[in-house]
Structure 1
Amino acid sequence: MISSTNIAATNMDVPGIELPVNHLFGPCGEFADRKREAEFLDGTWSEHVERMKAIQLAVMCFAAWGIVDYFVIGMSWILGLILALRVLALFVTRIPTLFFSDINSKPAFFASVTVSQVYVFSVYLISVYAGQLPIGEQALSALTIIFAFYFGVPNRLVFNIVVCAVSAVIFVAMIAQSDDVSLRSAAMVLMLLGIGNLCGAQFARVTNRMRRSEFMTLAAQRELNEQLISEVASREEAQRIAAVTEENFQSIFVAAPEVLAVVEPGTYRIIQANRKAHELFGPREGLSGRDARDLFVDEKLRKSFDDTALGLRPRAPIEAQLFNGDGKPIWTHISVAFVRFHGAPALLVALQDVTARRHEAEALREARDQANDASRSKSEFLANMSHELRTPLNAIIGFSEALERELFGPVGNPRYLEYAGDIHDSGVHLLNLINDILDLSKIEAGHFRLHEDEADLNDIVASACRIVRHRAQQASINIEIDLPKPTVTLLADERALKQVLINLISNAVKFSNDCGTVRVEAQFTADGLCLAVIDNGIGIAEEDIPRALAPFTQVDGTLSRSHEGTGLGLPLAKYMTELHDGRLLIESTPGVGTRVSVVLPASRLVGRSAVSFAAQSG
């Protein structure tokens, strides 16, 4: 992350002034300076083209959706027209990469991308008009296409906003003409699409800013790396020259690119210095015969230099500050070797000015700190966005629940009750997902705090199984519980530990075969208490276990593709277990089953549970 105090206005072609970061970016998250934005597009143009090629898979799914149109519309000429238009979308979306992928055709590229977006949504509107799908399915499909535009299509944000906003308004106006859609339903759909547009635009805007900030950081790092490479190349060249001319010591001494001086032991008088030394420390008259110790800024190092000379022992090179010819302190790399000069022992002192290197090292450290700040900003952004999304979601859940329960009177058409239930369930699912993301961002930012108290293990396990049991019954999966007696009492955050169990049992149920068994057991071990969830499902390959523990990552598999999920269950369980000073272990065999163990230390056992553990481990 690049802080506002470190970004100089030289980046904006205005020398001598420093501007805050917000002035670097426009409302859409792009660089306010057109020249800098053009540089960014040039540097990332291949990424834009590849992203446009990558969405062909989504367009293929859009074309394949014509099969659904067949069942909704039936065999007719309008079906043939829609199928032809869907297939034509494959070519329309290929136009930007086929004809305008050249870096000099950026305006035409973005224009053709915008045209392809308009075309895809127009085909969708025709299918909606002909198919007469329920309003809930129509709204969900429209929202999906809008999110795909914001998150997947490599278009400029201003074009995306215009396309998505106009498309949403046209869609609502079209469905409002239907006799089956009330004004209130149309208004709710308009509100939903409006929220979707706001969220998508905000996400794209922040993503634009983060990508451009990263681009600036990488550019600065490349410049520093080039400087370091240049310095290393200079040093290697100097060493090569010294190796070629080493036969003549005096020639090397005079022509050396670094500071060289011959010092007399005992008196520390400078006998001879080369041209570089005179450039750095003053003319020959003022340097020859001078006490070398007077050049040290730190008086303690003068004593260290004295010991080296008296003992005539080789010492490792050091970095110290010396006074240059102008009396200013500079950082130097000092090496001392013992030689014979004109037949007498002498000290050959080599100096290298490393002041610039020190400054570069400090700049590299600042760049690393800025990258760490960017990572923290990402987690804080996720947390803030989660809070922002909760407010409208709670309203959607509350209003849909009121409609479902008919709190203010009968709704009339029973289908509306079904739609309200679907909206309520979808809202609850999305709210749970946001809660998971919020917990993960809190953990990554170090803001997640445990509220520890004594908790009964039986109650925690029973509560977690009760939440998952309905889903297990739908798949005819039996949940077995085997816990130690008497009951175990833990010092833990009951909500966090219950969330760990819910995530593990839900995964076990989700990836188990129908009529299978999920077993929850606990037992004392040498390390403390081992709480395990065991299933006989599809299993995980050993090399895929690290991926399963990574946030937002799912292991590919035949069964996993047919189940929902965000890839947060196992990572959250692992993080929350580690916050309890425990470990999460996974043992799995593909086709046989999986055992996930939560090992809590003995320090988490309270009262009789601690006594039972001591007796069994002893």
Structure 2
Amino acid sequence: MTVVPLRTAGPDVEALAEARARLDWAGLMARIRPHAADEADAGVLAHAILLQHAQRLGDAVFAGELADRLSYRWFCGLSAGDPTPTAEQLARARRAADADGFLSREAAAALAGPVAEDAEPPDALDDRVRSLIREAPIPMALARPSDGCVYVASRRLNALLRAPCRPDCEPLAGYTAGAFHAVPEDREAAMARLAEHGGFTELETELSRLDGRTFPARVAYAPFWLAGQACLLVTVHDISAERSAQADLRYRTAFHETLSELSPDGILVVDDRRRPIFHNRRFLEIWNMPPELIDENDGDELFRYAQSQVANPAAFLARMRKLAADPAEIGYDEIALTDGRVVERYTGPMRDRDGGYLGRVWFFRDITAHKRLERELREARDRAAAADAAKTRFLSTMNHELRTPLNAVIGFADVIRRRLFGDDVATYAGYAETIHESGQHLLALVDDVLDMAKLERGAYNLDEDWVAPREVAAPSLRMVGPQAERAGVELADELPADLPHLWADARALRQMLLNLLANGVKFAGRDGAVRLQGRMTADGGVTIEVADTGPGIAAEDRERVIQPFEQAVSQLSRDHKGGTGLGLSITRNLIELHGGSLDLAGEPGAGTVARLYLPAERVAAAGGR
């Protein structure tokens, strides 16, 4: 059976009239109706057949008029001998139609070509077999192996491919695989596999429905023998929903994976038997955990490793037992690790839609930096409060320290001015000495405050040179001597004579020694002692020490008393009034300007040792200055 190609040769009026006369319109409509959707479509097809006859007979004008009115559904592959179009021809026409559903005459001409061989079904395909396939609960068909020509199809397949479902006909009969496969190469590859391996094969491809729309499908082919004749059993499954679900799952999976990898939290998910089923990279980083440990899927081993990392294993174990005993427990706590870090832990149950317990989700966040910032802010707040309190005490102290000598100066000056003792020069001389001492005391207070202000704003400039420690210390000892004698304190100069020269500011070094010696005398107590000592250190530096026999300073007070305006609390400050509380702070600032340090040692009741350390680069080499 061949298709008569379209042609536009000159008209043959007699032949056309003969064709019209021979056309059995009623018989033609009876043959067309099973292939048409309704009576109107049957009429259109009848006119298409008439057009084919007209073209065959060369009536180009008549053919053109009919072509302008024909739907693409019927304008293709019509036979002179058998005017019923094949399913494959109709499918090809649908794919070639324009947006309005019509074919151009050129497109129709391009569709003309050979049609399938005669597709008579096997003799063994009786009503029983047909009924079994038609009523199958899945989309399936029995087809010819060579080209996939359909013998019989299930109602499910008819509905899937948008074929009309009528009990008196096979709407897909005669359709070949080429009518449905949008990608013919997929079927060819599947047929090759079937020929090579036999048995069963399937593929995922794009299929075309009769309305021209495509959809993703999973097509399975299996050989089927019917009375010794080879057939092909074809099943089709629309996987549009499956593809959509796969795409949705792919995006959801990518989203969750990206979210978990970008999360600052370490995430661990365990099942109801405490076996790990998910973790992210951050979890391994926080716990310093080797990946192979969690890959072993051993929840107990994972727990033992985590317990070895925490600073308080007993508390960790107690918390884990509580969570294991109550699956509904939602927990939050902070865990201190052995390496000094702090981890925040949050956990809650994982449940299905019915509320069934599936496992537990853990979130871990390293909050070490946060805790350190909290501590620093707390310490800064405490320092600010302490500084404020110290300044208050300083102002109170300064009020006392300034008023006492000023009262002495004013009082004794008034006695001398009014000559209350007549011409008693000796008495007036004693008063003048008191006025002088009070003035010196006031000057020292002012100097301390000014020096501290200069040091705090970085305006103190060193005038450095090579100096001999004993020569610098001598004036300081002389200045403190009277104070030590009045206090009943032994002042001992034990500074070695061979101590090397130091590169330092002589005035600053003298002030440092004076501050330390004065502090020692003030706190040594009657019958106590203050010793000035010095020595070389192992690293080539020099240490100068002032040791006293006073009450000592508690370890927790050592750093505080060096702060400006501070003095040690308790008995040390109650029994020794006077001073601005700036001496040690000034001394530390001056020694740090020299690249050295001030250190306080000793214990309560055992005296105090104040050490000035100067590094090796400030110490003259042996045999030098």
| Fold equivalence (TM over 0.5) | no
Normalised TM-score (structure 2)? 0.33
Larger helix proportion, structure 1 or 2?
1
Higher relative contact order (CA 8 A, sep 6+): 1
Normalised TM-score (structure 1)? 0.33
Larger strand proportion, structure 1 or 2?
2
